[in-house]
A and B are shown apart, each in its own frame.
Chain A
Amino acid sequence: MLRIASRALDAQRYGLDVTGQNIANVNTAGYTRRSVVYEEVPPLDPWSPGGGVDVQALVAARAPLLEARLMFEQPGSSREGAIADHLAVLEANLGQPGASLDAALARFYNTYAQLAQNPISATARQQVIVEGQTLSRTFNDLATGFNNAQLNADRELRDTVRQVNALASQIAEINAGIASAGPGNADGLLDQQSVALASLSELVDVTVTHNADGTIDVSVGSGRSLVVGPDTFALTAASTPPQGFAQIISDGAAVPTDVTSEITGGRIAGLLQLRDVLIPQYQTQLDQLAYGVATDVNTLATSGYDLSGTAGVNFFAPPSGVAGAAQQMAVNSAVVADSSLVVASATTAAGNNDIARAIAALQDQPITGTTSRPVDAWGNLVYSVASDSRSATQARASHDQVIQQLKNLKDQISGVSIDEEAAMLLKFQRSYEANAKFFQVTDQALDLLMSLVRT
């Protein structure tokens, strides 16, 4: 009887321990609530009522289907999140309507309209140069903003690859721990594995294979191994020409393989989309606008005459091509040095204003070779950035909503309920008290028996 009581006290105290563990980890990320499964100890002989109770198992309330669904949903949210985060900064760089490149364009063209009112005015000529320089600087700043955004995306991409490798190493170590602990003894490690996998899936979309011993194998892209049991096959961010941007190389194949194009989810995919697709599109739009503005103004300027009646020179330093035109844009240094070189006249007469009027009118005409006026081209760029930013923000919100619901469902299964644990405390406390009483009664009975023997 004492044995039954002793075993029962141990079992109920274990229940109290597990409850305490659950309560202690109520705020631990990834913690899965545990519960004790008891079993009756069978009788040793036909006349025995039984051997009492023993702990059969400690069960973690896992929700594998929901975890898998979360793993599927998370990369999409992170991908859109990366795009939204970076585009929010880029969007701010574009400035507000009426206070950005559109205003600089309007002021530049309108100073030519003012010059047309008095083509020999030195002040009006100087004003054209000043606004030309302001316009050029605005183009330069915007181009720098896009370049910086691209560099920032690349920098974060490299950091993220390092984080992926760190998490891969962590998962490999956990795998080793699970393998050595054996099945059923690795609930804590499995929780850590779940947390590490969730973190990894935020960075890159991975495929996970669950092994019978509780370990997992993880691959990226088209089945490129990242973790196999206790082994890690790191990703490398390799700088490649012409811009030196990082391409992602996997060691998880027979030979190191560029898997950049195979990554479609997670923060890395978002950063790649930004760096290699979205920002280059914006840069091209800006460059085409800068090239068109500079070329159209130069074409008219060189068809006219300056204040001294000499054949006109380029107002802007001629761009070498569309690529890089915004970054290179500048007023011709000769014009900056001598405002009489600003071309307003279509004839050798200093007072003719036909070219000044024609340049002012460029703001109302499509840029040569396009169907868009300069302000329309700028509006298109603004729309591209704003709508991409909005789409990414909305997509992230949509993914996050699903993720939150899935997390709630998972928590309903795996999370710790304070009320429930309090009830369990009460249950185990009462059980422990009852078994202690049983022990006391047994002890008293034995005492009585012993006293009879003594008398």
Chain B
Amino acid sequence: MRIVFNTAFEDVTLAMQRAAESLAEAQRQVSTGLRMGKLSDDPLSAVAAVDEHSVLDRLDAYKGAGDAASYRLGLADNVMTDIINQLTSAQTTALSARGSEITQGTRDAAANELLAIRDALMSDINTQFQGAYLFSGSNVTVAPFSVTGGTISAYQGDNDTNAIDVGSGRAVASTFDGGAIFQGSDPVHILDALTNLAAAITAGDQAGIDAGIQALNRGFDRANAAQARIGNDERSLDDARSMLTTMHAQSITRMSSIEDADLAQAASQLSQADTAYRAALAAMSTIGRVSLMDYLK
């Protein structure tokens, strides 16, 4: 086989370029920690990375929604606890004012206490979160109850409660139907019931007091049921967040397997590529170094 200078030169030049490419690629992997430099390095993995990034973005969004929902549910839970406590106090006060032997002064004091409880309940049910009423259903810009000229309005919200998606196919309530909690199927809401009860106690109206106590009992049951639903949502949210944490970790692992370079392998390849590149450079420097021309005198 005839060996000509140009062939040797081109072969070694090509080998040198390939070695330089391999070295640059190994350096890129080690320095960036990423397996792929461009999409065409591995089209299938590129698509998998797109999908996995989308999964991560969605999980992050669910996590954010879960955090927001957690604040709301926590606040609603606290409000319901206070409402239940207030209703319990009201029940106790009403029961203590029941009976013919109670003095007028005691009845008046009990009535005043019930009216104070009513005002506290109204304050509770009109709780706002980020400028929106929590217990107005979807009518979040309107307070559930308001007072005009000493008269408490009917429930002003609606029964269309909002939900927040906190996971795939999993949603928790973000607003609550104050009417269902405070009135349900009763003819009057709990606030008016307390007003009426206070009036009955002041007047010594035993039938009115009994009716008021029964209304308080029903209100207490509704509040407990509502808090139970909130508690269920909180538990569901905890489950969802726990699942999100697991899914997030799994997604990160998958992402890493798709995108991250095996650093040990990359370092080994870098070493090999460096050796190959040095060898190619050395080979290039030997081309044409010696020829018959050197021996012609």
Contacts and interface: CB of A to CB of B under 8 A. Distances in A.
A347 interface: yes
Contacts of B165: 113, 116, 357, 360-361
Interface stretch (A1-9, A40-48, A190-198, A416-424): A416-424
A416 B138 contact: no
A181 to B, nearest CB: 27
B44 interface: yes
A378 B138 contact: no
A87 B40 CA distance: 9
B2 A117 contact: no
B4 A415 contact: yes
Contact of A418 (B14, B47, B130, B291): B291
Contact of A347 (B38, B47, B49, B160): B160
A98 B288 CA distance: 51
Contacts of A350: 139-141
B50 interface: yes
Interface stretch (A69-77, A146-154, A285-293, A379-387): A379-387
A285 to B, nearest CB: 13
Interface residues of A, number: 66
Nearest to B37: A96
B292 interface: yes
Interface in A309-368: 345, 347, 349-353, 357, 360-361, 363-364
A389 interface: yes
A102 interface: yes
A37 interface: no
B33 interface: no
A386 B40 contact: yes
B45 to A, nearest CB: 9
Contact of A364 (B46, B47, B162, B168): B168
B132 interface: yes
B39 A385 contact: yes
B82 interface: no
Contact of A351 (B46, B60, B140, B164): B140
B7 A408 contact: yes
Contacts of B162: 116, 119, 351-353
A386 B296 CA distance: 57
Given A117-B68, A347-B138, A417-B3, A97 B46 contact: yes
A103 interface: yes
Range for the number of chain B residues in contact with chain A: 35 or more
Contacts of B136: 351
A183 B46 CA distance: 59
A106 interface: yes
A357 B163 contact: yes
A393 interface: yes
B61 interface: yes
Contacts of B7: 407-408, 411-412, 415
B38 A91 contact: yes
B11 interface: yes
Contacts of A106: 53-54, 57-58, 61
A97 B49 contact: yes
A114 B106 CA distance: 52
Contacts of B54: 102, 105-106, 363, 375
B141 A92 contact: no
Give the one of B7, B44, B293 with max A CB within 10 A. Answer: B7
B6 interface: yes
Interface string B27-68: 000000000001111011011011111101110110011001
B10 interface: yes
A357 B165 CA distance: 7
Contacts of B292: 418-419, 422-423, 426
Contacts of B5: 26, 415-418
Interface string A394-411: 000000000010011001
A422 B53 CA distance: 65
A94 interface: yes
A382 B57 contact: no
B296 A351 contact: no
Interface string B123-159: 0000000111000111111000000000000000010
Interface string B1-24: 111111100110010000000000
B158 A349 contact: yes
A363 B168 CA distance: 12
A376 B168 CA distance: 17
Contact of B51 (A87, A120, A379): A379
B91 interface: no
A96 to B, nearest CB: 8
A387 B293 contact: no
A86 interface: no
B174 interface: yes
B237 to A, nearest CB: 13
B296 A426 contact: yes
Give the one of B130, B137, B259 with max A CB within 10 A. Answer: B130
A92 B2 contact: no
A363 B40 contact: no
Contact of B46 (A114, A121, A383): A383
Nearest to A394: B40
Contacts of A352: 138, 160, 162
A13 interface: no
Given A120-B141, A361-B165, A351 B132 contact: yes
A182 to B, nearest CB: 30
B57 A110 contact: yes
B202 interface: no
A413 interface: yes
Contacts of A26: 5-6
Nearest to B57: A106
Interface in B192-241: none
A102 B58 CA distance: 11
Contacts of B47: 379-380, 382-383, 386
Contacts of B40: 87-88, 91, 385-387, 389-390, 393
Interface in B151-199: 158, 160, 162-165, 168, 171, 174-175
Contacts of A393: 40
Contact of A349 (B51, B138, B164): B138
Given A118-B68, A119-B162, A416-B5, 9 more contacts: A88-B40, A96-B39, A349-B137, A379-B51, A382-B46, A383-B44, A408-B11, A418-B291, A420-B2
Top 7 A-B pairs, shortest CB-CB distance:
A351-B140, A98-B53, A415-B4, A106-B57, A422-B292, A97-B49, A386-B43
21 contacts: A91-B40, A97-B49, A110-B64, A113-B65, A117-B174, A349-B139, A351-B132, A353-B162, A357-B165, A361-B165, A364-B58, A378-B50, A379-B50, A382-B46, A382-B50, A385-B39, A411-B4, A415-B4, A416-B4, A417-B5, A418-B288
